Amino acid sequence: MRLSKFEPRQAVIAGERKTTSAMIASIAPDGIPTRSAPFGHTLARLAHHRNGIVGLTADLAKYTDLHVFAQEHPDRFYQMGMAEQVLMSAAAGMAREGFTPFATTYAVFASRRAYDFICMAIAEEKLDVKIVCALPGLTTGYGPSHQATEDIAIFRGMPNLTIIDPCDAIDIEQATEAIADHKGPVYMRLLRGKVPVVLDGYDYRFEIGKARLLREGADVLFISSGLMTMRVLEAAKALESDRIGCAVLHVPTIKPLDAETILTAARRTGRMVVVAENHTLIGGLGEGVAALLMREGMSPVFRQIALPDEFLDAGALPTLHDRYGISTAEVARRVREWTK
Amino acid sequence: MADGTTEFEMPRSGSNVSLAERAYRIRRHAVRMGEVQGQGYVGQALGIADVLAVAYFHALRYRPDETLWEKRDRFLLSIGHYAIALYAALIEAGVLPEEELETYGTDDSRMPMSGMAAYTPGMEITGGSLGQGLGIAVGMCLGLKRKRSDSFVYNLLSDGELGEGSTWEAAMSAAHHKLDNLIAIVDFNNQQADGPSTATLSSEPVTGKFEAFGWHAQRVDGNDIEAVRAAFDIARDLKETRPRIIVCDTRMAKGVPFLEAREITHFIRVEPDEWTLALEALEKGRPQ
């Protein structure tokens, strides 16, 4: 058995050093406008006129932006400690007593460790619990223990659960308000810290269960969610110079899928459908869209931009996003190849 | 009531019925459900009947015709397979009509084999995936405190269930949050699916563990009604900001001697002709 997957390295070549992206790493490239802790600020604001909102976390308030809420509403904040199972079941109990709990942790812990508690204590009972989780997909360089590459695959099979994968700060702000109003359990993937602002340039409004066409294009239809919508918007601009016209359909609600809007966009013939997601290619948006198209008897040229079915490496996020094909440059490169 | 611990919101006509008689009737309802279905966790129901009699006819505050009454005490059944026992208690309490017991475990019945909140009035949570009830209880206790309610949350667990790690997360959490409105009850019948619980994954010393976690812990003979009643009173009246637990040592199939004598297993086998014999045996032991 090999003791390491890598060869021994004596030193890093000068100028090439990239440090491992920490758990609190921002996914915002330099120079892009950002907003700080959009989820935490929005929830804190909402709580002023929605008395039922309470916040619970499993020792990750600071890392899920819930600390903003905790500072503003200390008596409505519950620190549950490093205990995701009781985090979820206690959230269920509070919902039973009429409150609207927002429970936060990392996506890996909610999906892998607390699944049964979310399933039986929350979803089966259709309780009003909002599960908001940081580090979705590949948004940390800490390796598989913290990279929730399969959270959507895990949660898509759970009845009653609404799944949201917002793109940027605007999406997160609007989605937070929407899920607070929504009756029933929700799982929302969270980008935290300094979160890019992208969708302000589009006529965009988040609505649960609705996909939005952000731009039109004749050759490629990107169907994307989460931070990959940022990437495909950038890639679409880059591909203009190659005379490849790209439409972008943003699908922030993974479940229930907005079948009507997706089918309308996909019905326009002659376009390659490229589903882009910050998630393993198994069991996520890509497979959901593929199944939908097949059920409707549609068979466009279909491609997936997604993470491989592997435990991913540790390292710096830019390195890893290139390595696994979800950087803007990689998206554009692959689309050029596919459209040759 | 005279002892000041109980505030029934139910018809007073039955209030002169002894707890022993209530326990007898709970057992009889359970055996009749077993007879209808030809199976069921009758051993557990017979074992826990005395505890349920004390809970529903001494300790809990509730309204039989208004199961979501805000001021009620909440009774959470983690152990979904004990549903037969809780249905029996809810029938005796007037929450469910007695004639409905004949639907136990049948298609589209309000009384499925494993307890689920969406099916049955008075069933507060969906149990069955063991190790969830105590955590839900923690959340309900936190919620009740936010509402400044004086209601208690009771959670009936089993000894086997203590093997679930989530129970201990909840135990730590309840003590940390000083949940003095939480009363956990463990049915310690020393039996789980694969054998005696002490030989499967021992939770002993149970009270010592909970005390170390910061709980007030008692251990009583769960088939001694007076002892159980006293323990419930102590748990309720305690002036300490700690969660409380009552470990009840019970005997499977209690009240039906020929089943008690049978090799005890998680799922006691009862032959078709034995249900009537079981009812007769119960009648023999009926309190005078």
Q: Given this model, what pLDDT does residue A286 score?
A: 98
Three-state secondary structure call for residue B54: helix
Please count the structural domains in chain A.
Answer: 2
Residues of A with Cβ-Cβ distance to B184 under 8 angstroms: none
Residue A235 belongs to some domain of the structure: yes
Q: Could you tell me if residue A113 is left (phi over 0), alpha (psi between -120 and 50 degrees) or otherwise beta? A: alpha
* pLDDT over 70 percentage in chain B: 94
Q: Given this model, what pLDDT does residue B263 score?
A: 73
Q: Model confidence over B197-209: pLDDT tens digits? A: 999 999 999 999 9
Characterize B45-79 residue by residue with b for buried, 16 or more Cβ atoms within 10 angstroms of its Cβ, and e for exposed: bbbbbbbbbbbbbbbbbbebeebeeeebbbbbbbb
Beta bridge partners of B248: B187, B220
Q: Model confidence over B113-166: pLDDT tens digits? A: 999 999 999 999 999 999 999 999 999 999 999 999 999 999 999 999 999 999
Cβ atoms of B216 and B245 within 8 Å: the answer is: yes
Q: Given this model, what pLDDT does residue A31 score?
A: 80
Same domain, A164 and A225: no
pTM, 2 dp: 0.94
Residue A16 belongs to some domain of the structure: no
Q: Given this model, what pLDDT does residue B121 score?
A: 97
B142 contacts chain A (CB < 8 A): yes
Same domain, A157 and A88: yes
* Helix residue spans in chain A (DSSP H): 38-47, 66-72, 84-96, 107-108, 115-117, 151-156, 169-181, 227-240, 259-267, 285-295, 317-323, 328-338
Same domain, A147 and A118: yes
Q: Given this model, what pLDDT does residue B13 score?
A: 40
A90 contacts chain B (CB < 8 A): yes
Same domain, A154 and A100: yes
Q: Given this model, what pLDDT does residue B40 score?
A: 81
Q: Model confidence over A40-57: pLDDT tens digits? A: 999 999 999 999 999 999
Same domain, A64 and A190: yes
Q: CA-to-CA distance for B222 and B220, rounded, in angstroms?
A: 6
Answer yes or no: is pLDDT of A1 > 70: no
Residue B50 belongs to some domain of the structure: yes
- What is A29-76 written as a DSSP string? PTTS-EEE-HHHHHHHHHHTT-TTEEEEESS-TTTTTHHHHHHH-GGG
| Non-local CB neighbours of A131 within 8 Å, separated by 6+ positions | A88, A91, A103, A104, A110, A118, A122, A185, A186, A187, A188
Q: What is the ipTM of this complex?
A: 0.93
Kindly determine whether residue A85 and residue B169, on different chains, have CB atoms separated by under 8 Å.
yes
Of the residues A167, A196, A225, the one at which a domain ends: A196
| Non-local CB neighbours of B21 within 8 Å, separated by 6+ positions | B286, B287
Cβ atoms of B167 and B133 within 8 Å: the answer is: no
A93 contacts chain B (CB < 8 A): yes
A83 contacts chain B (CB < 8 A): yes
Cβ atoms of B70 and B36 within 8 Å: the answer is: no
* Listed residue (A273, A276, A339) closest to A307, CA to CA: A276
Same domain, A165 and A251: no
Residue A46 belongs to some domain of the structure: yes
Residue B4 belongs to some domain of the structure: no
- Would you tell me how many other CB atoms lie within 10 Å of the CB of residue A292? 16
What is the spatial order of strands in the sheet that A130-134 belongs to? Answer: A77-79, A53-57, A100-106, A130-134, A186-190, A162-164, A253-255
Q: Which of A16, A84, A207, A240 is catalytic?
A: A84
Which segment of A272-281, A330-339, B3-12, B91-100 scores lowest on mean pLDDT?
B3-12
With CA atoms as reference, the chain B residue closest to A100 would be B143
Residue A124 belongs to some domain of the structure: yes
Q: CA-to-CA distance for A109 and A308, rounded, in angstroms?
A: 21
Half-sphere exposure of B220 (CA within 13 A, CB side): 22
Q: Is A84 a catalytic residue?
A: yes
Report the amino acid identity of residue A252.
P
Best probe of the B interface among A57, A59, A96, A126, by most B CBs < 10 A, is: A96
Kindly determine whether residue A81 and residue B173, on different chains, have CB atoms separated by under 8 Å.
yes
Residue A288 belongs to some domain of the structure: yes
Same domain, A215 and A270: yes
Kindly determine whether residue A125 and residue B126, on different chains, have CB atoms separated by under 8 Å.
yes
What average pLDDT is seen over chain B? 93
Of the residues A174, A196, A218, the one at which a domain ends: A196
Same domain, A187 and A295: no
* Listed residue (A121, A120, A209) closest to A163, CA to CA: A209
What average pLDDT is seen over chain A? 95
> H/E element holding A77?
strand A77-79
Kindly determine whether residue B125 and residue A78, on different chains, have CB atoms separated by under 8 Å.
no
Asked if the peptide bond before residue B205 counts as cis, ω within 30 degrees of 0, the response is yes
Strands A246-250, A212-215: pairing is: antiparallel
Domain with B203, as residue range(s), is 18-284
Residue A156 belongs to some domain of the structure: yes
Chain position carrying tokens 């249900």: B275
Same domain, A216 and A192: no
Residues of B with Cβ-Cβ distance to A54 under 8 angstroms: 146
CATH assignment of the domain containing A265: 3.40.50.920
B175 contacts chain A (CB < 8 A): no
Q: Model confidence over A133-176: pLDDT tens digits? A: 999 999 999 999 999 999 999 999 999 999 999 999 999 999 99
With CA atoms as reference, the chain A residue closest to B76 would be A93
Between CA A90 and CA B142, with CA B75 as vertex, the angle to 5 degrees is: 30
Residue B3 belongs to some domain of the structure: no
B112 contacts chain A (CB < 8 A): no
Best probe of the A interface among B120, B129, B132, B167, by most A CBs < 10 A, is: B132
CATH assignment of the domain containing A138: 3.40.50.970
Chain position carrying tokens 């710096």: A316
Query: Confidence band (pLDDT; 50, 70, 90) for B2?
Result: very low
CATH assignment of the domain containing B129: 3.40.50.970
Cβ atoms of A209 and A245 within 8 Å: the answer is: no
Answer yes or no: is pLDDT of B7 > 60: no
Please count the structural domains in chain B.
Answer: 1
B138 contacts chain A (CB < 8 A): yes
Answer yes or no: is pLDDT of B262 > 90: no
Minimal CA separation from A117 to chain B, in Å? 7
Q: CA-to-CA distance for A188 and A166, rounded, in angstroms?
A: 8
Answer yes or no: is pLDDT of A61 > 90: yes
Closest CB to A93: pick one of B118, B140, B147.
B140
Residue A167 belongs to some domain of the structure: yes
Same domain, A60 and A181: yes
Same domain, A133 and A176: yes
| Non-local CB neighbours of A230 within 8 Å, separated by 6+ positions | A167, A168, A196, A198
Mean pLDDT of B229-240: 98
Residues of A with Cβ-Cβ distance to B144 under 8 angstroms: 97
Same domain, A188 and A235: no
Between CA B197 and CA B203, with CA B201 as vertex, the angle to 5 degrees is: 80
Strands A302-307, A272-280: pairing is: parallel
Task: Supply φ then ψ for residue A233, to 5 degrees.
Answer: -65, -40
* Listed residue (A158, A90, A163) closest to A133, CA to CA: A163
Residue A25 belongs to some domain of the structure: no
A54 contacts chain B (CB < 8 A): yes
Query: Confidence band (pLDDT; 50, 70, 90) for B6?
Result: very low
Domain with A56, as residue range(s), is 34-196
Report the amino acid identity of residue B195.
G
Of the residues A196, A219, A248, the one at which a domain ends: A196
Q: CA-to-CA distance for A53 and B104, rounded, in angstroms?
A: 39
Q: Model confidence over A173-222: pLDDT tens digits? A: 999 999 999 999 999 999 999 999 999 989 999 999 999 999 999 999 99
Query: Confidence band (pLDDT; 50, 70, 90) for A13?
Result: low
